Structure 1
Amino acid sequence: MTMVLAILRAKPEQADALEAALREVAESTPREPGALAYTVARQDGDRFLVAERYADGAARDAHFAAPYVTGLLARFPELLAEEPQVELAEVLSSFTR
């Protein structure tokens, strides 16, 4: 199992637009066969945390190739105040209640 952790800081005037775009991706992601979890959180008004889990690297790569994700990534220069911080990792232990 693999995970992605991202920290996104929106331009203050684009924070609501980024939230709406992230919610759209979160609504579409459960239809992906290898997607296991996708969480979006908002912090301090313009800072967003995204935590994702996938069955494997191929499922993660398929997610990032999905049109709704590539569309959001293309909007990052318009929406973000700084480069996103993204970390990829292999999950060693996990639970969901």
Structure 2
Amino acid sequence: MTTINKAILAIIEAKPEHAADLEALLNSAVALANQEAKTITWYAFKLGDTRFGIFDTFADDEGRQAHLNGDIAKALLGKADEWLTQAPDIMMADTLAVKLA
């Protein structure tokens, strides 16, 4: 099993009129995450009507940086001005403990 050492937590607030658009983008983005060899886990989730999040994990900084430069970030940031109330709150984390199965 690959060791998970790094993570990203992003909290995203959509404008009410674009919440469904953001939800659809996040639902479809799993296909892009599946193409990222260095992304170990990827979760998109909903925290409320207009508040969403993404949590993903990586073995190292190289994988994390590849993800930050990847297609999901480009798709999301390409719609940020139109769809979001503010820039996503993106937090980098080092994992302490992990249970997968």
Q: Please, what TM-score do these two structures have when normalized by structure 2?
A: 0.86
Q: C-alpha offsets along residues 6-37 of structure 1, whole Å, 9 cap, x if unaligned?
A: 11110000001011111222221122111111
Please list every run of 5 or more consecutive structure 1 residues that lacks an aligned counterpart in the other structure: none
Instruction: Kindly report which structure 2 residues correspond to 1:17-96, keeping only aligned pairs within 5 A, or say none.
Output: 17-96=21-100
Q: Separation in 1 of the partners of 2:15 and 2:43?
A: 21
Bigger mean CA offset, 8-17 vs 55-64 = 55-64
More helix by share: 1
Please list every run of 5 or more consecutive structure 2 residues that lacks an aligned counterpart in the other structure: none
Shift of 1:5: 0.5
Q: Is the 8 A contact 2:12 2:84 kept in 1?
A: yes
Give the partner amino acid of 1:32. E
Give the partner amino acid of 1:39. Y
Report the aligned-residue RMSD.
Answer: 1.3
Bigger mean CA offset, 49-58 vs 9-18 = 49-58
Match of 1:2 among 6, 16, 22: 6
Bigger mean CA offset, 8-17 vs 31-40 = 31-40
Q: Is the 8 A contact 1:10 1:47 kept in 2?
A: yes
Q: Is the 8 A contact 2:16 2:50 kept in 1?
A: yes
Q: Please, what TM-score do these two structures have when normalized by structure 1?
A: 0.90
SS at match of 1:93: coil
Shift of 1:70: 1.1
Q: Separation in 1 of the partners of 2:7 and 2:72?
A: 19
